[in-house]
Amino acid sequence: MIEKRIDVNERLPLLQSIPLSLQHLFAMFGATVLVPYLVGLDTSVTLFSSGVGTLLYILITKGKIPAYLGSSFAFIAAMTAIIGSVPGKLGSPDKVALAMGGCVIVGLLYLVVALAIAKYGTGWINFLLPPVVIGSVVIVIGLGLAGSAVGMAMGNIWLALAALAIAIVAAAFFKGFLGVIPVLIGIIGGYLVALFTGHVQFGTVAAAHYFAVPGFIFPKFTWGAIIAIAPIALVVITEHIGHLIVTGNIIERDFMKDPGLHRSLAGDGVATMVAGFLGGPPNTTYGENIGVMAITRVFSVWVIGGAAVIAIILSFIPKIGTFIQTIPVPVMGGICILLFGIIASQGIRMLVEAGIDFSQKRNLIIASVILVIGIGGAKITIGGIEFSGMPLATYIGIILNLVIPHSKDLDNKQKSNSAKKQAAAGK
């Protein structure tokens, strides 16, 4: 049993590394495979791109940051709108290719931002995307998916509630590693309930091959898909920064400086571009795996890399992907009620932690407009290109933030609060 701290570049014996890598695989598995299940992508391709993306990230960050990259939930609504698939069914290859074109551009945006950060620092990000904009957009991402989650659950509400209850119990009461994987526990528990009540069909699993190359789909680029998906990159970049800071705090290193935020974002960008060229969803660093490291005190990139290699191996076993597709839609619906609600709650948390004062008209206006336009499904067409939902809300939020003047009283209040916090920290 590992009791001491294992640092970033330390290698453990193989028999110790494998189970530790499997822990990381289990931590990311539920959320990573849920995204392709919901939007109509191939699970095998997703596992492959997740594993390859993680290895590329480790390479680009010079093996200095232990982070696993899995499917991002932020892109679900936009990809679903483009692909038009129902949960549990593969989307049309042509429509998937269109969505992948947008995903590749997301990765390219990461690289552009990484270059800008390397040259100018991070101040311009805070200016362009302050917490009132980012927090409101994150709320839109979660609540915009609420109808989808409930619709999935209504196929068999009792089955959905069973999966939801199991996930809630795991999240609220389980400790240690089990407390880090409530999504996976909820899916497994809900699946077992469905199995015992006769709601699972195994015919497709029996017909699936034991070995096959994943069904890669290469991207097609259209302005419509790019405009719908690309702005989400701005939101996920802020999530990436938060994860990097948390990881650094746990390991007691400043990853923002060494190897640098620009390298970390570049690694995420390259991983997302590769995923888009193969037919997988955009990647993001996973909080679940950060939690595993905090619990085990094992920070080795070799362990993270081992999880990535195992994911790649699993991607060549079609029976696994086919088995995942046997999970009843209501089970996933119950899990999504919790997950999408948590995403919205994270947006509220951002607003609270940033100390956003809604007695100030500027903040109230920006948040209100973003929420109503994003959740209400507003659409406008300019030059034959449609802007709608969350992307439209993000664009308008950025514009409002740039044109509405700041209140001097608010600025003075924020400076006063900052000074008080610094004084308290000094004590």
Q: What is the Cα gyration radius of the chain?
A: 21
Query: Mean pLDDT, to the nearest integer, of 5-27?
Result: 85
The first and second tokens of residue 210, run together, are 């034991």
* Three-class DSSP category at 388: strand
Q: How far is CA 373 from the centre of its chain?
A: 22
Is the per-residue pLDDT at 135 higher than 50? yes
Query: Mean pLDDT, to the nearest integer, of 9-29?
Result: 85
* Angle, CA 300 vertex, CA 320 and CA 110 arms, to 5°: 75
Is the per-residue pLDDT at 202 higher than 60? yes
From the list 336, 58, 296, the residue with the least C-alpha distance to 180 is 296
What pLDDT digit, counting tens, does each position of 355-385 carry?
Answer: 999 989 999 999 999 999 989 888 888 766 6
Residues written for the chain? 427
Q: How confident is the model at residue 427 (pLDDT cuts 50, 70, 90)?
A: very low
Question: DSSP string of 132-197?
Answer: HHHHHHHHHHHHHTHHHHHHHHTTSHHHHHHHHHHHHHHHHH--GGGGG-HHHHHHHHHHHHHHHT
Is the per-residue pLDDT at 409 higher than 80? no
CA–CA distance, 220 with 226 (Å, rounded to integer): 10
* Amino acid found at 301: V
Bridge partners (DSSP) of residue 385 are 382
From the list 183, 283, 213, 289, the residue with the least C-alpha distance to 45 is 213
What pLDDT digit, counting tens, does each position of 214-265 carry?
Answer: 999 999 999 989 988 988 887 788 778 878 877 888 888 888 888 999 999 9
Mean pLDDT of the residues in the chain? 86
Query: Mean pLDDT, to the nearest integer, of 338-346?
Result: 84
Question: What pLDDT does 95 receive?
Answer: 94
Q: Is this prediction's pTM over 0.85?
A: no
Q: How confident is the model at residue 195 (pLDDT cuts 50, 70, 90)?
A: very high
Q: Residue 23: enclosing H or E segment and its boundaries?
A: helix 14-39
Percentage above 70 pLDDT, the chain = 94
